């Protein structure tokens, strides 16, 4: 039981560190406000990630297109790479590294938003999607672990979770994702 208590306390400490990081808080608020403007102006919010981060991308997009806490109009949000036929075709015919960027080219327009989720900050397919998004004119954000990897240097808004421990990074990502949904929904329904 002591190990469980330690695990939970360490997870809480990561979230407390986020609350003490003014830059993180400012970047989160900026992302929420830019996302509100994007949706009001008819834009879409795209998400991408691999493994647990792919699950987070789908989860957050589902909360926005469905319902988080309130009955409201759906919010345009898409998790890239969720069509299995598309995923296997692109991975086979091109490369897994092109999975998100190719789909983004087909669906995105300037002034949309792409949020790439990667615990390491170095996922090649997420970086390729961010690069394409930057070329198209999307606002880009990366949600990563502590050092941000290469992603932190190529996005407009970086949210780095202050730990290298992957489970706590992922726990914080979904906490941030739920907070993102909460504030986006609240601001769009006021």
> Can you tell me the distance from the alpha carbon of 124 to that of 121, in angstroms, rounded to the nearest whole number?
9
Flag residues of the chain having pLDDT under 70.
none
Looking at the DSSP bridge assignments, the partners of residue 48 are 116
So what's the pLDDT on residue 61? 99
pTM of the model: 0.97
Q: Which two tokens stand for residue 71?
A: 């009955």
Contact (CB, 8 A) for 159 and 24: yes
Angle between helices 166-188 and 22-40 (to 10 degrees): 50
pLDDT at 190: 85
Q: What is the pLDDT of residues 154-185, one digit of tens each?
A: 999 999 999 999 999 999 999 999 999 999 99
**Residue from 38, 47, 68, 77 nearest 173 by CA:** 47
35 is written with which tokens?
Answer: 């996302």
The 3-class SS string of the chain reads CHHHHHHHHHHHHHHHHHHCCHHHHHHHHHHHHHHHHHHHCCCCEEEEECCHHHHHHHHHHHHHHCCCCCCCCCCCEEECCCCHHHHHHHHHHCCHHHHHHHHHHHHCCCCCEEEEECCCCCCHHHHHHHHHHHHHCCEEEEEECCCCCCHHHCCCEEEECCCCCHHHHHHHHHHHHHHHHHHHHHHHCC
| The CATH number of the domain covering residues in 2-188 | 3.40.50.10490
**Burial letters 106-145, b for 16+ CB under 10 A, else e:** eebeebbbbbbbbbbbebbbbbbbbebbeebebbbbbbbb
């Amino acid at each position: 039981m002591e190990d469980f208590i330690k695990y939970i306390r360490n997870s809480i400490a990561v979230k407390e560190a986020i609350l003490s990081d003014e830059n993180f808080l400012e970047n989160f608020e900026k992302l929420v406000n830019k996302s509100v403007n994007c949706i009001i102006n008819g834009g879409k919010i795209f998400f991408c990630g691999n493994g647990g981060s792919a699950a987070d991308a789908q989860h957050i997009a589902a909360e926005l297109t469905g319902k988080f806490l309130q009955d409201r109009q759906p919010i345009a949000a898409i998790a890239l790479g969720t069509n299995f036929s598309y995923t296997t075709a692109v991975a086979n015919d091109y490369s897994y590294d092109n999975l998100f960027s190719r789909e983004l080219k087909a669906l995105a327009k300037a002034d949309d938003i792409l949020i790439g989720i990667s615990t390491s900050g170095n996922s090649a397919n997420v970086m390729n999607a961010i690069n394409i998004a930057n070329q198209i004119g999307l606002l880009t954000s990366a949600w990563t672990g502590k050092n941000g990897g290469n992603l932190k240097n190529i996005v407009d808004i970086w949210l780095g979770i202050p730990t290298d421990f992957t489970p706590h990074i992922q726990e914080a990502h979904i906490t941030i994702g739920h907070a993102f949904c909460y504030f986006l929904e609240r601001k769009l329904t006021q």
